[in-house]
Structure 1
Amino acid sequence: MTVRFASYRIGLYVAVFLLSGTVLGLAAHFANIFLPHLHPDFTIFALLIPALTIFVFLLSLQFAQPRTEAVSLFILWTLWLAMAAWATDIIGSTQCDALTSETMPTKNGEIRQKEYCYEMKVIQAFSWMLFVLFSFALTILIALVNQAQRFGRPHIWREPIQELGWFHEMPGYYNNHQQGMVQYPAVMYPQQQYGYQMPAVYQIHQGPGGPTLTQTV
């Protein structure tokens, strides 16, 4: 995995964790004041989707291939689209600041509609943001896999996702530091294709007269 790809992937995961955690917290508040008899369908759905998202991404941090990541992103993309559309259907174009003293029933009393409206607006906005994030992530992942296949990795879909490179960077290019040697992985790429030249492999050897540098092609 190139440094840029690793950084951007971690950045995506952090953003998803923060947004999903916020939605999960608001849904937990709704569950506390509404369940089991008031608004059960949306409240339970709003609990399950962010919890599933966090669980899937925690697994993907440890075990992921491009094909498994693509399937996960597509499923979550669909679920968050449904979540955003449902929240939009419930809250619609309601102006929260126009609400004053109106209240709505809860299982233990009442809650101000203005407070409920603001929380629903946050769930709506964050759900759409997550939908957009997953759209970009899935599109970029497919583009990077296609690029890796052009660079001579036809089976990249089932290889570790760490093998992917960022745009215009060959896949599998990470440094190995072992026994005083710095080299690139021994993977064959097209030598003269798409404007890229396979770099030479340099090896540093420690000899009696000091370190020597040898080059192999």
Structure 2
Amino acid sequence: MTIVFANHRITAFVTIIILSTVVLGISAYFAHIFLPNHVADITTFSLVVPSLNILVLVWSQPRIEAFWIFMLAVLWLSMGAWYDDLQGHTDCSSLTDSLRTVTNNGTVSSRAYCYETKVVEAFSWMNFALLAAYLVVLITLTGRSQVLGRPYAWQEPIIELPWFGEYPGYPGPYQYSDGYMPNGGYGQPMYVYPGMNMMGGGGGQMPYVVRQEPGQQIVIQPGMNGGMPIVQQMPA
């Protein structure tokens, strides 16, 4: 396999962290001018969610990451809905300069405050959409890894998840951790039983190789009690 999934994951997380940082900055400003006397609930909530988001996005196992991604998606969804309820369908541009919002130390422009809340709302929806999409991809890829002979894919390092059209295993140019070898010959992939000698056999042949025939699909099933996997060819 390649590191396509790892690269896409990093790109998605960097985007989410950037959006979260913007929300955290605006929320910190709200906390400075409002807490503890005004709109304390939503201001505190908008500080907690992006902070938690930045802290938990680290390398982990798929099962742990799926749990946290789900929790973060729910939190961002809640925050987007809360800010939408706060401003409703208010047209910020229609607010005049004479309208002011009360703060701890006086007032601020209601129009400026409206625009800032709209930014928080929009970025909350964007983070929710990104996290929800990533969660679907994560569950799909982990399920594929289990089908391809990795029954403990949910517990393995997340970097070993393959992208669509790839096979699971730690990224590398030669043999991968599941024994899959790309370009086994004539454009067909080959599958090697894990733990077996790749260089054995006479005439330079590799005796423990299953070559995928045209119109067939390879089915890999885990062996009993940790034994060798069962590799079968079936009509596609």
* Residue pairs, 1:3-82, within 5 angstroms: 3-57=3-57, 60-61=58-59, 64-82=60-78
Give the CA deviation at 1:7.
Answer: 1.0
User: Contact 1:73–1:138 (CA<8 Å) still a contact in 2?
Assistant: yes
1:171 maps to 2:168? yes
Q: Which residue of 2 aligns with 1:146?
A: 143
Structure showing the higher helix proportion among its residues: 1
* Residue pairs, 1:190-201, within 5 angstroms: 197-198=189-190
User: Contact 1:2–1:172 (CA<8 Å) still a contact in 2?
Assistant: no
Q: Which residue of 2 aligns with 1:124?
A: 121
Give the CA deviation at 1:104.
Answer: 1.0
Equivalent-residue separation in structure 2 for 1:30 and 1:2 (angstroms): 44
User: How many aligned positions are there?
Assistant: 191
Give the CA deviation at 1:200.
Answer: 7.0
Q: Which residue of 2 aligns with 1:185?
A: 176
Change (3 A) 1:136 1:183: same
* Residue pairs, 1:69-108, within 5 angstroms: 69-101=65-97, 102-108=99-105
User: Contact 1:23–1:123 (CA<8 Å) still a contact in 2?
Assistant: yes
State the identity %.
Answer: 45
Relative contact order, CA 8 A, sep 6+: which one is greater?
1
If you compute each CA radius of gyration, which structure gives the higher value, 1 or 2?
2
User: Contact 1:87–1:123 (CA<8 Å) still a contact in 2?
Assistant: yes
Runs of 4+ in 1 over 3 A off after TM superposition: 214-217
User: Contact 1:173–1:184 (CA<8 Å) still a contact in 2?
Assistant: no
User: Contact 1:2–1:164 (CA<8 Å) still a contact in 2?
Assistant: no
Which string of whole-angstrom CA distances, capped at 9 and with x for unpartnered residues, describes residues 45-101 of structure 1?
Answer: 0000000000001xx23xx00101100110001111111110100011100100112
Which string of whole-angstrom CA distances, capped at 9 and with x for unpartnered residues, describes residues 110-149 of structure 1?
Answer: 0000000000000000000011111100000011011111
User: Contact 1:152–1:188 (CA<8 Å) still a contact in 2?
Assistant: no
User: Unaligned stretches of 5+ in structure 2?
Assistant: 181-187, 210-236
**Paired letter, 2:178:** V
Equivalent-residue separation in structure 2 for 1:215 and 1:84 (angstroms): 61
RMSD after superposition: 2.1
Give the CA deviation at 1:198.
Answer: 2.5
**Of residues 107, 121, 126 in structure 2, which corresponds to 1:110?**
107
